[in-house]
């Protein structure tokens, strides 16, 4: 074995250990959110802290520094090792830049902040959460300074969730999107458009919904012999290791659409993770490349497939077989209802058109938090004003306003844009896919979901984190992220409503 | 802080880490047997192997040697630290004797073997499991040689589950028990006794059985805010950490007794673990002291409480409320049926009288595996012959023969005798309890299960592993293990049937 090969082998063994710890952290968190008995939470917190500490030790060891130095000087390094080292170096650099003391303070803060937020949301009391939000903003400012950035402080945080993303780039993408959507909502209002989502209300037994989820998994190609569907308060997808990608969902007995689309969304994430090449085992690359690309996959399945007319043509016989009362509605009725457009206060319940506005509001709030010296007292007022200006809705209490999302209480600033990027990536990918598969929608109608999955596997999934998100979108579509595809899609959807 | 106190603190921190790893191993194994998607088994095996390796490192470190040396020279060491060091020393000594490579190989083997066994049992295909069983026997032989023993190789394994136990001692206890039971079965046959268990056959929806399990948990005092009830092929109890003691069960739609008694059995284990003093956190002692004592608790709940007339008097209203078709039977009918004596093929379905014969057969098989050079091909035939000779039943296929139990596939040889020891400890403990609580059976009839639990908490549970099993049984009852109490109990039960 050459010196280089021996070193590569050593690297692989080292990264494999980190992956084992990631797998254990995945299992610990999955269990905490799906199964754990209430009295066990505290001790499990200790165990999770212990694991995180072991992970920290492995990421920041001298061994890692040595690997980075060794491979940085290698010429003609293979693509996989090179990407693997890039990822390891990023984790090492980011972790080393934050003094341990500061990091522990922050972890302690957010572990309290999340429960305070829960309480504050329940009571609709912003003042309760305010001091925590203030501290979380200040810590994130400190972190951004320590990470370093070129133009805007916020950039340092954005880069954590979407490698290379900047405020300048997001402004370029989000500004036209915001104008376009506000304009479309104006048109709908002028035409007195009325959403018809209420026609779906009924009684859908949860045991039936659970069974139906398995049929959808089979259709779409979410492999349950390498996954599971469970239930939790907030739906999520989690990797527990090779061939173990689990999703959770939340069923509503009165509305089967919530649970169905939430399942399809999470299956989009899970299909991504299940189809990454196993050659990437032991490289840290066997996971989706960014939150934005991940959301593009979940939203592709949820919106582009799951809200298409052809999808409903295809599943109508199954759906009405499971829920006979739906026979009163035609495919057209259901299709119209699941595509209702309805400006509202709550992000997670938003339709495909208004969803991005919810994100853009949070993005603009985060810019204020990070780049300006904004008084935290001002934030709720600004939030409410933006909801009024962009969506035309009045926030009545903080629970359905600034307190609605968990992210900031969890210390995450810079995450929200990923959700909107997912929509944009998705539409751009669809445009390319339609060139390769012109009969895409016929295939959906015929239930040939597996050839669509196969295209995604081939062009996106298998690469895992081998490419950065911007490299990947260029590789797939031949151009960089372009908001026009999604804007056009929104215009088409609205036009159909006005016809 | 004195030097001793500082050292005690250091010990506690060290043992806490070992306990975190135990907690993670518990979670990993629980998930493997309750949830894991089939394709994830191999990778999970790697992760389990990694964890076991980390555990091995902590148990065999120089630090541990230093702790043992330091505390061995301490005079007047407190009882807890002293027992803690005794336990640590035993683990250290036993582990040091097994080379790490061999141990990790073994852990990887059994994590796969369990799923192969499941498959083999499903198909009734011994050949599928045979190569794994052969390897497991060979590893255990190697381990026994490395542990060392005085007389028989098997002794080295027995000592792992029941400290100080030997083949000679078990022969002393099991021989009279075997003769007594075979003799009782002869008497029943001569008297043309016919079991009446078939009268319970019916249709008991599994969702109802699940609900009923929660009512029984509440009655007996198995705390579900520190535990869970799930389902798995082979019922078990597992500790996932402080306040997280989970049980599993297996329901039969035609016979609610199987699931009910299996639940009560596992709750007996879980109540033991849930009620160990939390002062023992960080000492390795916060777990039951031996498998035999553990089985005494599960069988106490299953047989002494769960098969008593008074228990059925108490739960009759609830049971008939959940399963109205049972109203056709009186308490006496049900009591008679759940105490049917019926030589059969399946250990877990066995009645209290014949149960010990199932164990003695496995004990004799394990003696052959460990002490002789038996060909694995021969084992099924020997198994079948013993079932014919002792119980008078014919094995028709391997699933209900040699493949019925999970233990060997889990690598455990030497565990089975604990079950029979549990019966014997249990009867001896009952004898003492009746002196302290003469109205025991009245309390059961009145549903005052918590005062019984309280006696067990006080006399057994809270101590965890502070005492060895032989110390504990002497502390409770004033004498060493004596099989006569259980033999007398069996004779009484049979006499009642012949009356």
Answer yes or no: is B407 a known binding residue. Answer: no
Tell which of B35, B42, B206 to mutate to test the A interface (max A CBs under 10 Å): B35
Number of Cβ atoms within 10 Å of the Cβ of A139: 19
Least Cα distance to A219 among A451, A402, A31, A34 occurs for A451
pLDDT value, residue A107: 86
Q: Which band of pLDDT confidence, cut at 50, 70 and 90, is reported for residue A220? A: very high
CB-neighbour burial class of residue A274 (10 A; exposed 0-12, middle 13-18, buried 19+): buried
Chain A residues in contact with B50 (beta carbon < 8 A): 17, 20
Q: How far is CA B144 from CA B136, B153, B414, in A?
A: 12, 6, 11
* Number of residues that make up chain B: 499
Sheet harboring A237-239: ordered strands across? Answer: A229-231, A245-249, A237-239
Q: What percent of chain A has pLDDT over 90?
A: 92
Token pair of B289 as six digits: 């002291």
Whether B151 and B166 have beta carbons less than 8 Å apart is answered as: yes
- Tell which of B28, B47, B210 to mutate to test the A interface (max A CBs under 10 Å): B47
**Measured distance CA(A421)–CA(A409) in Å, rounded:** 22
- DSSP SS3 for B238: strand
pLDDT band at A499 (very low <50, low <70, confident <90, very high): confident
Q: Consecutive 10-residue runs of chain B (499 residues): their mean pLDDT?
A: 92 98 97 96 93 93 97 92 96 91 89 91 96 97 96 96 92 95 95 93 95 97 98 93 97 94 97 98 97 96 96 97 95 95 92 95 98 94 97 96 95 95 97 97 97 98 96 95 95 91
Distance between CA atoms of residues A224 and B152, nearest Å: 48
Q: Which tokens in the block code for residue B19?
A: 């306990």
Angle at A71 between CA A66 and CA A77, to 5 degrees: 165
d(C-alpha B195, C-alpha B349), whole Å: 14
Q: What is the third-level CATH fold of A126-499?
A: 1.10.1370
Burial of A383 (0-12, 13-18, 19+ CB in 10 A): buried
- Contact indicator for A487, A481 with CB cutoff of 8 Å: no
From A207-216, A271-280, A473-482, B104-113, the region with the lowest mean pLDDT? B104-113
For residue B51, the surrounding DSSP H or E stretch is helix B41-59
Q: Which of B191, B285, B300 is nearest to B239 (CA)?
A: B285
**Residue A284 — very low, low, confident or very high, per pLDDT cuts 50/70/90?**
very high
Instruction: Indicate yes or no: CB of B47 within 8 angstroms of CB of A227.
Output: no
* Residue A331 CA, distance from chain mean position: 30
First to last CA, chain B: 69
The pLDDT of residue B100 is 80
Partners of A231 in beta bridges: A249
Residues B277, B280, B286, B291, CA torsion sign: negative
DSSP string, B407-428: TGGGT-SS-THHHHHHHHHHHH
Specify the DSSP class assigned to residue B389. I
Task: Tell me the per-residue pLDDT of A106-136, one tens digit each, with 9 for 90 and over.
Answer: 988 988 898 899 899 999 999 999 999 999 9
- The torsion angle over the Cα atoms of residues A452, A455, A458 and A464, rounded to 10 degrees, is -60
- Lowest mean pLDDT, pick from A97-101, A270-274, A296-300: A97-101
- Who among A31, A36, A243 is closest to B43 (CB)? A243
Q: Residue A329's closest CA among A338, A339, A342, A320?
A: A320
Are A406 and A117 in contact, with CB atoms under 8 Å apart?
yes
Report CB contact under 8 Å: B40, A240: yes
CATH assignment of B167-498, among 1.20.1270.10, 1.20.140.10, 1.10.3470.10, 1.10.1370.30:
1.10.1370.30
**Contact, A235 vs A229, CB < 8 A?**
no
> Nearest CA to B87 among B297, B293, B295, B287?
B287
Contact indicator for B336, B306 with CB cutoff of 8 Å: no
Element (H, E) at B136: helix B126-147
Q: In B133-168, which positions are buried (b, 16+ CB within 10 angstroms) versus exposed (e)?
A: bebbbebbbebbeebebeebbbbbbbbbbbbebbbe
Strand order in the sheet with B245-249: B229-231, B245-249, B237-239
Cα three-residue angle B402-B407-B409, rounded to 5 degrees: 80
Q: What is the DSSP string of A161-223?
A: HSTT--HHHHHHHHHHHHHHHHHHHHHHHHTT----GGGG-S---HHHHHHHHHHHHHHHT--
From A285's Cα to the closest Cα of chain B, the distance in A is 16
pLDDT band with cut points at 50, 70 and 90 for residue A101: confident
Q: Does the annotation place A46 within a ligand binding site?
A: no
Supply the pLDDT for residue B5: 94
Residue B287 has, within 13 A of its CA and on its CB side, a CA count of 18
- Span A466-487, mean pLDDT? 97
β-bridge partners, A237: A247
- Helices (H) then strands (E): counts for chain A: 20, 3
Q: What tokens appear for B494 in the block?
A: 């049979």
Domain boundaries in chain A?
3-97, 126-499
DSSP, collapsed to helix, strand or coil, labels residue B248 as strand
Does residue B165 sit in helix, strand or coil?
Answer: coil
Q: Are B296 and B422 in contact (CB under 8 A)?
A: yes
* Residue A211 burial (CB count, 10 A): 11
SS3 content of chain B, % helix, strand, coil (to 5): 70, 5, 25
B23 contacts in chain A (CB < 8 Å): 43-44, 47
What pLDDT is stored for residue A203 in this prediction? 95
Q: Is A72 exposed, middle or buried (0-12, 13-18, 19+ CB in 10 A)?
A: exposed
Residues 6+ apart with CB under 8 A from B144: B153, B154, B155, B156, B157, B370
The secondary structure element, H or E, covering residue A378 is: none
- Give residue for tokens 């959770």: A248
> Is the distance from CB of B197 to CB of B450 less than 8 angstroms?
no
CA distance A400 to A378: 17
CA gap B179, B481 in Å, rounded: 18
User: Which tens digits make up the pLDDT trace of A388-442?
Assistant: 999 999 999 999 999 999 999 999 999 999 999 999 999 999 999 999 999 999 9
Q: Which residues of B are catalytic?
A: 266
Chain B neighbors of A227, CB-CB under 8 A:
37
Strand-pair partners of B252: B255
Q: Which helix (H) or strand (E) holds A247?
A: strand A245-249
Structure tokens belonging to residue A249? 């969902």
Q: A159-186 in b/e burial notation, b at 16+ Cβ within 10 A?
A: bbbbbebbbebbeebbeebbebbbebbe
User: Quick check: B23 and A43 CB within 8 A?
Assistant: yes
pLDDT at A1 over 80: no
**Cβ-based contacts of B20 with chain A (< 8 Å):** 46-47, 50-51
Per-residue confidence band for A195, with pLDDT thresholds at 50, 70 and 90: very high
Tell me the sheet residues that pair with A239. Answer: A245
Rounded CA gap, A239 and B466, in Å?
40
Average pLDDT, chain A: 95
DSSP secondary structure code for residue A388 in this structure = I
Q: Is B27 on the interface with A (CB under 8 A)?
A: yes
CB atoms within 10 A of CB B207: 10
Closest-CA residue of chain B to A29: B27
Contact A347, A404 (CB under 8 A): yes
- Residue A154 CA to residue A368 CA, distance in Å, equals 9
For B230, which residue in chain A has the nearest alpha carbon? A35
Q: What are the beta bridge partners of residue A238?
A: A246
Mean pLDDT confidence for A178-195? 96
Alpha-helical segments (H) within B372-483: 379-386, 417-436, 440-445, 449-459, 469-477
Asked if A64 is an interface residue toward chain B (Cβ–Cβ < 8 A), one would say no
**Averaged over A249-273, what is the pLDDT?**
96
């Amino acid at each position: 074995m050459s010196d280089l090969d021996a070193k590569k082998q050593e690297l692989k063994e080292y990264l494999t250990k980190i992956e084992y710890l990631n797998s254990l952290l995945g299992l610990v968190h999955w269990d905490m959110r799906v199964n754990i008995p209430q009295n066990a939470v505290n001790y499990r917190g200790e165990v999770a802290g212990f694991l995180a500490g072991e992970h920290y030790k492995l990421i920041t060891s001298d061994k890692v520094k040595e690997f980075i130095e060794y491979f940085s000087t290698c010429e003609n390094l293979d693509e996989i090792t090179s990407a693997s080292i890039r990822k390891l170096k990023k984790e090492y650099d980011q972790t080393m830049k934050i003094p341990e003391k500061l990091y522990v303070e922050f972890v302690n803060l957010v572990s309290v902040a999340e429960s305070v937020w829960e309480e504050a949301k329940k009571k609709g009391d912003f003042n309760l959460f305010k001091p925590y939000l203030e501290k979380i903003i200040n810590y994130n400012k400190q972190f951004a300074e320590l990470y370093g950035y070129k133009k805007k402080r916020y950039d340092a945080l954005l880069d954590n969730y979407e490698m290379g993303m900047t405020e300048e780039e997001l402004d370029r993408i989000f500004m036209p999107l915001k104008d376009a959507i506000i304009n479309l909502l104006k048109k709908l209002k002028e035409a007195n458009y009325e959403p018809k989502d209420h026609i779906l209300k009924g009684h859908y037994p949860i045991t039936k919904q659970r069974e139906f989820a398995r049929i959808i998994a089979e259709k779409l190609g979410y492999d349950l012999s390498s996954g599971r569907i469970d239930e939790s308060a907030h739906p999520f997808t989690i990797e527990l290791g090779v061939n173990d990608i689990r999703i959770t969902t939340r069923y509503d007995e009165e509305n089967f659409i919530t649970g169905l689309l939430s399942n399809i969304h999470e299956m989009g994430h899970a299909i991504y993770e299940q189809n990454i090449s196993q050659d990437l085992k032991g490289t840290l690359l066997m996971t989706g490349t960014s939150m934005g690309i991940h959301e593009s996959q979940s939203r592709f399945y949820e919106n582009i497939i799951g809200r298409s007319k052809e999808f409903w043509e295809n599943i109508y016989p199954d759906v009405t077989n499971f829920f006979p009362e739906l026979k009163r509605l035609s495919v057209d009725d259901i299709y119209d209802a699941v595509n209702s457009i309805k400006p509202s206060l709550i992000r997670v319940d938003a339709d495909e058109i208004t969803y991005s506005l919810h994100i853009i509001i949070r993005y603009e709030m985060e810019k204020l938090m990070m780049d300006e010296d904004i008084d935290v007292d001002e934030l709720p007022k600004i939030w409410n004003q933006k909801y009024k200006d962009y969506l035309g809705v009045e926030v009545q209490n903080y629970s359905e306003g600034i307190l609605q999302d968990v992210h900031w209480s969890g210390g995450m600033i810079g995450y929200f844009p990923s959700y909107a990027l997912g929509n944009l990536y998705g539409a751009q990918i669809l445009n390319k896919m339609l060139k390769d598969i012109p009969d895409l929608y016929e295939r959906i109608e015929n239930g040939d979901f597996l050839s669509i999955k196969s295209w995604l596997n081939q062009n996106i999934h298998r690469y895992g984190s081998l490419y950065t998100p911007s490299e990947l979108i260029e590789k797939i579509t031949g151009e960089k992220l372009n908001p026009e595809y999604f804007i056009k899609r929104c215009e088409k959807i609205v036009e159909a409503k006005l016809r």
